[in-house]
Amino acid sequence: MDLDLSLGEFEALAAKALRGTGYSWGAATDGAHAALVLAQNGLPAAEIALRLVTHVEYHGPGTSVLQNPSSGRATAPICAVTYGAALSDLAGAAPDLVASVAKSRPVIEPLLLAPFLTNCVIGWADGSVCVTHRGIELNGSIPVGAVHITIDFDGYAGTDLEDGCAVRSHKGSTRAVVTPATYWSLQAFAARTYAPASKQSRSSGAGAD
């Protein structure tokens, strides 16, 4: 039977899984919140998060280099969390640059990029997501793994920070329904953040004599 997680439980699990895969604490927070937003929008966030950490486990997180628009089309894949966080940071530094660098490149699990952006359409070969203040709307198939995407800001002003939040929350689903297999796979990554209990830790917790 599938597990019915609160969004808080799911976000915490995703953050630990990302951290367990080697993301910094700050990036893990960003990635987990992006996964949360996907869950709120009714997307299979746990499966997407699991695919991301599994991909990164075996292939690494990809490049962290943002392609300069003058140097042409980017070819090295980049993790959606790393890319989304970088674009979010850039939005304050160089909004015009966001639209330029973001246009076309391979991204690992690109649906996780959507919560970092707004007022744009992220497209791939057989699908797209439209990202607006109202939410994240998927059309076509869910992209899996490293997928070449385009981001179309035409008609929009780029990443929108007017309310101070690059990663938006949308009212929608209040739970994350996760298959046991996905849950325990994410838990396996999360478990890497736990230290084996020591005699000392047991003897110093609440209630100890």
Binding residues with another protein: total (CB under 8 A): 51
* Binding-site member from 18, 38, 49, 85 for another protein (CB under 8 A): 85
Separation between Cα atoms, residue 141 and residue 125, nearest integer Å: 9
186 and 49 in contact (C-beta within 8 Å)? yes
Q: What minimum distance in Å lies between the beta carbon of 108 and another protein? A: 16
* Residue with tokens 């915490």, as numbered in its chain: 12
Nearer to another protein, 9 or 137 (CB): 9
Per-residue binding string, another protein, 3-42, x by CB under 8 A, is -xxxxxx-------------xxxxx-xx--x---------
Per-residue binding string, another protein, 55-74, x by CB under 8 A, is ---------xxx--------
**How many CB atoms neighbour CB 76 within 10 A?**
12
Range 95-154, binding another protein (CB under 8 A) = none
Separation between Cα atoms, residue 58 and residue 69, nearest integer Å: 29
Query: How far from 182 is each of 1, 51, 110, 186, CA to CA, in Å?
Result: 12, 10, 19, 6
The one segment of 90-98, 122-130, 139-147, 178-186 that binds another protein by CB under 8 A = 90-98
52 and 80 in contact (C-beta within 8 Å)? yes
Residue 66 carries which DSSP code? P
108 and 79 in contact (C-beta within 8 Å)? yes
SS3 3: strand
Q: What minimum distance in Å lies between the beta carbon of 13 and another protein? A: 11
Q: What minimum distance in Å lies between the beta carbon of 154 and another protein? A: 24
Counting contacts by CB under 8 A, is residue 193 touching another protein? yes
The tokens describing 36, both together, are 């949360």
* Residue with tokens 């080697």, as numbered in its chain: 22
Nearer to another protein, 119 or 193 (CB): 193
Counting contacts by CB under 8 A, is residue 184 touching another protein? no
Q: What minimum distance in Å lies between the beta carbon of 83 and another protein? A: 10
Nearer to another protein, 154 or 198 (CB): 198
Residue 119 carries which DSSP code? S
57 and 22 in contact (C-beta within 8 Å)? no
Residues that bind another protein (CB under 8 A): 4-9, 23-27, 29-30, 33, 64-66, 82, 85-86, 88-94, 161, 164-169, 174-175, 191, 193-198, 200-202, 204-208
